[in-house]
Amino acid sequence: MKKNRIARVLLLLMTAGLLAGCSQGATGSGAGASQGSASAGENTDIIIWTSGEDYKNETYLNSLREKFPEYNITLEYMSSSSMAAKVSEEGDSAQVDIICSEEYGYLYMMEDHLATLDDFDFSQFLDDIVPDNHKFTPEVKNGGCIIINPQVLADRGLPVPVSYEDLLDPQYKGLISMPSPASSGTGYMFLKQLVNEWGEEEAFAYFEQLTENILQYTSSGSGPVNALVQGEVAIGLGMTSQAVVEISQGVDLEILFFEEGSPFSMYGNAMMAKSADRPAVREVFEYLATDLCRQNNEMYFPDQIFKDFAPEVEGFPKNIDYGDMSGDTREEKERLLARWTFS
């Protein structure tokens, strides 16, 4: 998803003679409207920031339209790093009520401005993914993989890579895309995994060399798959779920896992402390963090997060060997990103 691409749904109040509606396509880049009413004096404007993918955002928008026609809900896309920076810098002045699909490391960075969810039922989730501070709820276990466009490789007479070391070969120069760890949680998980697997110095030396072959470090996690779909690159370091969605729609892509296994990161939902006393915000958050979360788990990200629910998505790889993502703390993320100078 491109930075600054905004998915909005404006659910407008019905008043005498005033009707408004707008609906755009399936990418979630437009806005849809429906009618509703609210009690006099009640604030029904609810702003949600999300770093989620286009296809997931549209699913959320449709569900929010149907569930809450009486509320004026705006869903805005923002990259993980931009969202964390705005909340951290602006605090209670930030124009947002609910944070959606944000990477755990960034959620910890903004935790001083998030509500403690004392009334939320965390027991429905697997114990090891529930944050100790109870300031955000699990939503997604987001795994990464190496994705190739076999046609681009074949057109150039290039072999399919079988290891991270293969990606350093000059024959792939300008044919690789990766999200920037500085702006994308997806990019950071690749960096963190190799730091854990190889050691910090070797991992940073690797990315310094890999940069020579990178066409671009994208600002969002979906960038590499988008570039693969367009035939702009042959190899992408990206999200398994997004690759599965594209393949299910007939795009000729292939998913690879190298010896180190799949990197992964956890994403969650949160409510701003300044908005926690508003019944409408609490109602929308509860629905988003439970019903929509389960729907998303079933449709796009099938790695188990609920204790009683282990869905399967057609075409999603089975028995994935996940890599070492230990030590993924707020302090560690800030320290590693301070070293990242390649994009």
Summarised one tens digit per residue, pLDDT across range 248-266 is 999 999 999 999 999 999 9
Please tell me the predicted confidence (pLDDT) of residue 168.
98
Cβ atoms of 132 and 212 within 8 Å: the answer is no
At residue 40, the pLDDT reads: 55
DSSP reduced 3-state for 13? strand
Q: What is the pLDDT of residue 61?
A: 84
Q: What's the distance, Cα to Cα, between the start and end of the chain in Å?
A: 18
pLDDT > 70 in the chain, percent: 88
Tell me what pLDDT residue 39 has: 57
Mind listing the pLDDT tens digit of every residue in the chain (343 residues)? 433 333 333 332 233 332 333 333 333 333 333 333 455 567 899 999 999 988 889 889 889 989 999 999 999 999 888 999 999 999 999 999 999 999 998 999 999 999 999 999 999 999 999 999 999 999 999 999 999 999 999 999 999 999 999 999 999 999 999 999 999 989 999 999 999 999 999 999 999 999 999 998 999 899 999 999 999 999 999 999 999 999 999 999 999 999 999 999 999 999 999 999 999 999 999 999 999 999 999 998 998 999 999 898 899 998 899 999 999 888 999 999 999 999 8
Average pLDDT taken over every residue of the chain:
88
d(CA 135, CA 133): 5
According to the model, what pLDDT value does residue 17 have? 32
- List the structure tokens of 25: 């396509």
Question: What is the CATH number assigned to the segment(s) 142-264+317-339?
Answer: 3.40.190.10
Structure tokens at 121: 């039922």
Region for residue 251 given its phi and psi (left: phi exceeds 0; alpha: psi -120 to 50; beta: otherwise): beta
Domains 8-141+266-299 and 142-264+317-339 are alike in CATH topology: yes
> How many whole angstroms separate alpha carbon 321 and alpha carbon 121?
30
Q: What is the number of alpha carbons within 13 Å of residue 197 lying toward its C-beta?
A: 20
pLDDT at 41: 66
pLDDT for position 343? 83
Structure confidence by residue, pLDDT tens digits, 170-205:
999 999 999 999 999 899 999 999 999 999 999 999
Would you state the pLDDT for residue 232?
98
Consecutive H or E run containing 2: none
Closest residue by Cα to residue 80 from 126, 131, 30, 142 = 142
Q: Which CATH class is domain 8-141+266-299?
A: alpha beta
The pLDDT value given to residue 54:
86
The domain spans of the chain are 8-141+266-299, 142-264+317-339
